[in-house]
Each structure stands twice: as C-alpha cells, then as structure tokens.
Amino acid sequence: MKATTSYTGPFDEIIIPRNSTKTDWEVELAVVIGKRASYVEEADAADYIAGYALHNDVSEREFQLERSGTWDKGKGCDTFAPVGPFMATPDEMGDVNNLRLWLSVNGQMMQDGNTANLIFNIPFLISYVSQFMTLLPGDIISTGTPAGVGLGFNPPVYLKHGDVVELGIDGLGTSRQVLKAYGQN
C-alpha cells in the first residue's frame, strides 16, 4: 500500500521523475478493500474485499533500493501506480487464483504470468497487513508481480521517455501508459 499525491488513471502519462535512471514496470493484481479491516483472520479475509483491479506498480529502483530507507521513495512518485480501467467485484471475477497477467513495453512482451504463481495468497496478504495497520475502504493491496521486470534483465532494462507500456489481467481489462521524462513535452 502507498499514498500518492494524485490519482493516475489507466491511460494517463507516467512521468519519469527528475534524476531517475531506473524506472521499472510491474503488472500486479490489486485487491481493493471494502470495509474497515483490523486484525483480520485469514479465514475471514474475503469479507473485506470490495473488488479487484489491474495495477502497474511502477517502481524507481535507485530511489527504492540505493537511497537508504524504505521502499516508498521508489513506489510513491507522482503519477506512479495507475489503477484500472475498472474494479470488478469478487462475484464478477470468479477464481482470482488463476488469472493471466501480462505486460509489454513498446510491443515487446516482458511479463506473462498467472496469479496461480503468487507467493502469498490474497487472504494471507489481507490478514498479514491488517496486523500492522487498519485498512480502510478504498485501500489497495498489490499482490506481487511475475518475472520479467526490468531490474531482472542482465543488463537491467528501464523505462525511458516515449516508451509505451501496455498491460492486462484476465477479467480486468487492459491499460496503456506513455512514459514522459520530467520536464519534457
């Protein structure tokens, strides 16, 4: 979970922050919380889900990993974390443990995975996070990303001005963002 200064929609530009050289992509399933959740038992976690959405968990790796402190510096930049194009309720989604999720950069497939391979299941994530903070309606928990982020390439590959990121999840639609370097038109 993270706070951002403004909402970025599924088809808005993503601004590469000033001095960024390692802006990366991450397609993820977003779990949207539907009611106040504190100290939730795993068995009850489904009762707290309003729905699911597509999420590009954009990450600036240098800010996140090389500038000391917590990861939020690399995840909370302005325009990062576009969500949508819509939220689907649990009854509309069916089995969220078997959804294809994918992401391409400039038409090249970079990530192609399935929620069946998540390290932690959704009930566990809700229960775990709720042990440390109260979750409120509208809060989002991102579930993790499949292999294929830019950091994982040798050498790493990062987003640059003009790149086009397209991503999708079964049942949750697709989104498209164009990258724009800070201060560029």
pLDDT tens, 89-128?
999 998 999 999 999 999 999 999 999 999 999 999 999 9
Structural domains of the chain, ranges and CATH numbers in brackets: 14-181 (3.90.850.10)
**Greater pLDDT, 33 or 4:** 33
**With contact defined as beta carbons under 8 Å apart, do 21 and 62 qualify?**
yes
pTM over 0.75: yes
pLDDT tens, 41-83?
999 999 999 999 999 999 999 888 888 767 777 888 899 999 9
Q: Checking DSSP bridges between strand 140-142 and strand 59-60, what pairing results, if any?
A: unpaired
Cα angle for residues 155, 158, 161 (degrees, 5° grid): 140
Residues ≥6 apart with Cβ < 8 Å to 58: 14, 23, 24, 25, 26, 75, 77, 79, 80, 81, 82
pLDDT tens, 159-173?
999 999 999 999 999
pLDDT tens, 2-20?
444 456 788 899 999 999 9
Residue with tokens 């976690």: 45
Quick one: pLDDT at residue 59? 93
Write the DSSP assignment of 70-89 as a string of letters: -THHHH-STT---B-S--B-
Label residues 67-91 b or e (16+ Cβ within 10 Å = b).
eeeeeebbbbbebbbbbbbebbebe
The CA-atom distances, in angstroms, between 99 and each of 79, 109, 166 are 26, 17, 17
